Amino acid sequence: MIFDLDGVIVSTDEYHYLAWKTIAENEEIYFDRKINEGLRGVSRMESLEIMLRKADREYTAQEKEVLAYEKNEIYKKLLEQVTPEDILPGVRDILTLLKQKQIKTAIGSSSKNAVFILNRIGLRESFDAIADGNDIKKSKPDPEVFLTAARKLGVIPHECLVVEDAWAGIDGAVAAGMGALGVGYAAFYHKAQFKGKALTDVNLEEIIK
């Protein structure tokens, strides 16, 4: 099983929002929570491009690099508040079950901060492999991160089930030829084969039998 990180294992959505909001306000660009929803599962640079659609001027490639860097620095500072208490409900139980069933697990995240976050919440050693934004050139909905995770696990794509909270992530899983379990926001997406508002609503025993 390949898990997205933000919104599946731990919720850092608010920190992303606050960081982007700070950048937008500094640049006098309109930004709200609805726009932020469109950044789910999307890379930092692509998220920046979405935010800049509301800008009243064009930005150079160098300016964009600076803004993306500043956003990440703000975000990382906010992440220092993350603790094991921020692990989402059901995560520990599912990881325990998968270990008992000897099912390999991986993180498949577009974030370049995945290892930092996992260390903060104490789950770095709970996964057999980690594929994140440092390993890929294309973010979701491209399947690259999931295919990379499968390769690191030493398994073939159609043996994998991806757990995602973003539509882009579900699209990426489908494109990779993997099963898709949509939770949270993605529980309402028709391409998800399995759905649950939260991991606590998912009967994993039934899915993996």
Indicate the domain borders of the chain: 2-11+84-208, 13-79
pLDDT of residue 139: 85
Pick the CATH number of 2-11+84-208 from 3.30.565.10, 3.40.50.1000, 3.90.1150.10, 3.40.50.2020: 3.40.50.1000
103 class by beta-carbon count within 10 Å (0-12 exposed, 13-18 middle, 19+ buried): middle
Mean pLDDT, residues 48-68 taken together: 97
Name the band, by pLDDT with cuts 50, 70 and 90, for residue 134. Answer: very high
Question: Helix or strand or coil: residue 143?
Answer: coil
Name the band, by pLDDT with cuts 50, 70 and 90, for residue 11. Answer: confident
Measured CA to CA, the distance from residue 85 to residue 67 in angstroms comes to 31
Pick the CATH number of 13-79 from 3.40.50.1820, 1.20.1260.10, 1.10.150.240, 1.10.760.10: 1.10.150.240
Low-confidence winner among 22-31, 33-42, 155-164 (lowest mean pLDDT): 33-42
Q: Which residues, in sequence order, are CB contacts of 76 under 8 Å at separation 6+?
A: 113, 116
The pTM of this model reads: 0.84
Question: Taking 80 as the threshold, does the pLDDT of residue 126 lie above it?
Answer: yes
Neighbours of 185 (CB within 10 A): 19
Using one digit for the tens of pLDDT, what is the confidence trace for 144-188? 999 999 999 999 999 999 999 999 999 999 999 999 999 998 999
Longest dimension (CA), the chain: 55
Nearest to 169 by CA among 137, 146, 135, 199: 146
Asked whether 142 and 104 are in contact (CB, 8 A), the reply is no
Can you say whether the dihedral through the CA atoms of 170, 153, 145, 106 is positive or negative? Answer: positive
Measured CA to CA, the distance from residue 108 to residue 99 in angstroms comes to 18
Nearest to 117 by CA among 162, 82, 92: 82
> Which residues have a catalytic role annotated?
4, 6
